[in-house]
Each structure stands twice: as structure tokens, then as C-alpha cells.
């Protein structure tokens, strides 16, 4: 069974906002002649990396709700220029929309067990993906999706 991570997506107002940020950063890397890859740097390194890498995902909490995920390709611990331990979470740049699930604020990342993760939006639910995030969230609150 896969182990996942969950993290607040600070600064993004929607999944579309996050997608735009990812595309912008990848474009910057291409423009600089580097191979594009999406990395999220965090302070703490997950100790259970073997249960996460390749099978786990990073679930993003946007505006108080789990709304999407990205597959975790690798975890790269390093020490920055100031001698502080950090970890690059290397992510597949593809965002997978999930069913909207409320989540209270927390700091940093947390482990997210398979039995707690929201389901991905399935084939046939593509229409939900084009709805504005606020409308999707309201419909989820009402138990309609």
C-alpha cells in the first residue's frame, strides 16, 4: 500500500493557479537550457521514503480542501548554502484532480495514508474538472459529487 504526503499549497487560489505556476517554472527552466523538472523544496526529509517514492503522491490542499495530487518521483535530501538540511520532492508535473475533501490548516507536510486520500476524478467525470473550483467544492459540501 502506498504512503503519500499532504501539504498546503500556499499562494495558489485554485488548481488552475497551481497549474499555471508549474507551467511557468518549467518554461523558465526550458528557456535557461535546462531539462525541466518540478521540484518542491521542504525543510524536513520524510523518513519513510521507501514507502513513498514511485508509488506515493503529494496531495495539495488549496483553500482548505484537498483538490489535486502529483506523483512523487524522488526525494533528494541536501544541505543548503547556510548549512540547513532540506529535501527536494521531485514531482511529476501532471496534476491529477481529486474529489474535493476539506482539510484543516497545518504546517509543513504530513504523511497521508492510502485509506484517507480522496479518490481521483474518474473517466466520465471530466465535466467536473471544467467546473470552477468554488462550484466543485460547494457541490462536494452538499454531497452531490
What are the tens digits of pLDDT across the range 49-89?
A: 999 999 999 999 999 999 999 999 999 999 999 999 999 99
Q: By mean pLDDT, which of 17-21, 68-72, 91-95, 118-122 is the weakest?
A: 118-122
- Residue 128's pLDDT band, with cuts at 50, 70 and 90, is low
C-alpha 116/C-alpha 119 separation (Å) is 9
- Residue 144's pLDDT band, with cuts at 50, 70 and 90, is low
> pTM for the complete prediction?
0.86
Domain of residue 39, residue span? 3-141
- Residue 90's pLDDT band, with cuts at 50, 70 and 90, is very high
How many structural domains is the chain composed of? 1
Question: What Cα–Cα distance (Å) separates residue 72 from each residue in 57, 125, 126, 142?
Answer: 5, 24, 23, 32
> By three-state DSSP, how is residue 104 classified?
coil
Amino acid at each position: 500500500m502506498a504512503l503519500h504526503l499532504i501539504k498546503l499549497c500556499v499562494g495558489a487560489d485554485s488548481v488552475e493557479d497551481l497549474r499555471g505556476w508549474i507551467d511557468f517554472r518549467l518554461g523558465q527552466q526550458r528557456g535557461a537550457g535546462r531539462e525541466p523538472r518540478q521540484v518542491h523544496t521542504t525543510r524536513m526529509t520524510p523518513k519513510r521514503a521507501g514507502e513513498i517514492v514511485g508509488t506515493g503522491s503529494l496531495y495539495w490542499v488549496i483553500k482548505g480542501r484537498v483538490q489535486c495530487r502529483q506523483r512523487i518521483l524522488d526525494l533528494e535530501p541536501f544541505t543548503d548554502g547556510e548549512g540547513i538540511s532540506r529535501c527536494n520532492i521531485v514531482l511529476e508535473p501532471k496534476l491529477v484532480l481529486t474529489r474535493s475533501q476539506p482539510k484543516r490548516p497545518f504546517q509543513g507536510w504530513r504523511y497521508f495514508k492510502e485509506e484517507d486520500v480522496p479518490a481521483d476524478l474518474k473517466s466520465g467525470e471530466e465535466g467536473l474538472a471544467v467546473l470552477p473550483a468554488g462550484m466543485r467544492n460547494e457541490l462536494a459540501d452538499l454531497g452531490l459529487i
